[in-house]
Amino acid sequence: MQISNAEEITGFFKALSNITRLKIVAELAKNDKCVSDVENIIGTRQANISQHLAVLKKYGVVDCRRDGNMRCYFLRQPEVVKNVLWLLGKKE
């Protein structure tokens, strides 16, 4: 097992190491969502959701596009994320 891009990989893990961000990512795995959608589902303050989305974006897990005055967030590598979560869900 060779780890070439270790920084990138630890970044991915860091991004998903917070329970709120994990929930956000699990939601985005279903479909793209704007910030207020996420806010309603997760039940956390808007500013905090935005902060977590910024972290996820910083580590390359998500990206977003404008849609009116909303921003629509989506997974950059949906299949990778889904497979990883599936593997861990199956764990023991």
Partner DNA sequence: ATCTGATATTAACGTTTTCGTATATTCTTT
Partner DNA sequence: AAAGAATATACGAAAACGTTAATATCAGAT
Instruction: Give the interface with a copy of itself as residue ranges (CB under 8 A).
Output: 1-10, 12-14, 16-19, 22-23, 26-27, 29-30, 77, 80, 82-92
Residue 5, contacted partner among a copy of itself, DNA, none, CB below 5-8 A by kind: a copy of itself
Q: Which DSSP string do the residues of 22-81 spell out, in sequence order?
A: HHHHHHHTTS-EEHHHHHHHHT--HHHHHHHHHHHHHTTSEEEEEETTEEEEEESSHHHH
- Between 66 and 85, CB nearer to a copy of itself: 85
Residue ranges binding DNA (CB under 7 A): 14, 17-18, 20, 34-36, 39, 44-55, 64, 66, 68-71
Contact 44, 35 (CB under 8 A): no
